[in-house]
A and B are shown apart, each in its own frame.
Chain A
Amino acid sequence: MEQEDYFEVGGLQLRSRLLIGSSGYPSPQVMLEAVEASGSELLTVAIRRVNLGDMSGESLLGMLKSLPVHLLPNTAGCYTAREAVLLAELAREALETNLVKLEVIGDDETLMPDVEQLLQAARTLIDSGFTVMAYANDDPITCRKLADMGCAAVMPLASPIGSGMGLTNPYNLALIRELIPDVPLLVDAGIGTASDAAHAMELGYDGILLNTAVSQAKHPVQMATAMRYAVNAGRMAWLAGRIPRRRYAQASSPSEGRIEATPT
């Protein structure tokens, strides 16, 4: 199944449904090993002012060249549509890609999207030919608007970025999937451990974007492997179709042919 079940976004055909971030690993070497172990083919990077001496620019890009990944620049840290649009334009120029993970946040405490600015930025970027993957609130209305305006993927949060709180509102996430069956949906942010990723995939999501759950795990490479399995397991379970929930037990073994013991 893994060979045929591609995830398509922005003209890319990906085997892996796990998108991973490049930030916060104990070392560049661990990052490379973890990304490789995750099987991910789409890696997020930030766009920041050049600063000689740190791991950025040509040294980072040179290092990532050894991996079979496409780069997905983000607009992390932007508070307004203006900032996000300029940063996306700079990313397109620097990395020669139309792909952008659009992030327009409202405050430092929750890092939750500012919906008004997000919608405005998404509209502008789509009109300028970008392939927009939009980080969104777990709100069906916002997600629907982003999908309708032509985002290549809509990515509601499971819980705040870096919190590791998992799926705080699986009901909303399920609702969003039901209401938007026609546009790729990913759960982005808040994944804490493998079961969170599997759960989101079991709700029918097309993929998972995560970073901290792997980079800050005690053993990042091992967690990356766990996430790879979890995303695959969740995907297969969704495709296989879960059984309906029942309020009462239903025996699996036949009731005919049961033995009887003589009462004493």
Chain B
Amino acid sequence: MSAPHCQVNGEKYALRIGTTISDLIRAEGLNPESVRGVAVALNNTVIRKNEWSGTVVNEGDRIEIVTAQQGG
């Protein structure tokens, strides 16, 4: 049996027991406490910033971590 994974921005991410949204933000090289202009969706539902550290990610979850980019 392979280790549990989730999808972060379309990429496979190996989960450890109790991995939270904050851990995923850290893995993107960002500080979940201080980062601005970033939003997260877990399985198509937005997770507010103050819920990141308490939201545990499960096997098969799909997470989107987004920010502003140049656009028209």
A positions within 8 Å CB-CB of B: 21-25, 31, 44-50, 52, 54-58, 60-61, 71, 73-74, 76, 82, 86-87, 89-95, 161-162, 211-212, 215
Residue in A47, A161, A215 whose CB lies within 8 Å of B68 = A47
B67 and A93 contact, CB distance less than 8 A: no
A73 and B72 contact, CB distance less than 8 A: no
| A21 CB contacts on chain B under 8 angstroms | 70-72
| B49 CB contacts on chain A under 8 angstroms | 93
Inter-chain CB contacts under 8 Å: number? 114
Which of B14-22, B29-37, B53-61 makes up part of the contact surface?
A: B29-37
| B66 CB contacts on chain A under 8 angstroms | 47-50, 87, 90, 94
B71 and A58 contact, CB distance less than 8 A: no
B positions within 8 Å CB-CB of A: 9-10, 28-30, 35-41, 44, 46, 48-49, 64-72
B72 and A47 contact, CB distance less than 8 A: no
Cα–Cα, bound, A260→B17 (Å)? 104
| B71 CB contacts on chain A under 8 angstroms | 21-23, 44-48, 74, 76
B6 to chain A, nearest CB (A): 15
B39 and A161 contact, CB distance less than 8 A: no
Would you list 8 pairs from A and B whose C-beta atoms are within 8 A, ordered by A residue?
A24-B72, A44-B72, A45-B69, A49-B64, A56-B68, A57-B68, A60-B67, A73-B68
B65 and A50 contact, CB distance less than 8 A: yes
Closest 9 CB pairs of A and B: A46-B71, A21-B72, A211-B72, A93-B39, A94-B39, A57-B67, A56-B69, A90-B39, A49-B9
Cα–Cα, bound, A57→B67 (Å)? 5
Q: Check A50/B30 contact, CB under 8 A, given A57-B38, A93-B39, A95-B37.
A: yes
Most buried by A among B36, B39, B46, B72: B72
A90 and B41 contact, CB distance less than 8 A: yes
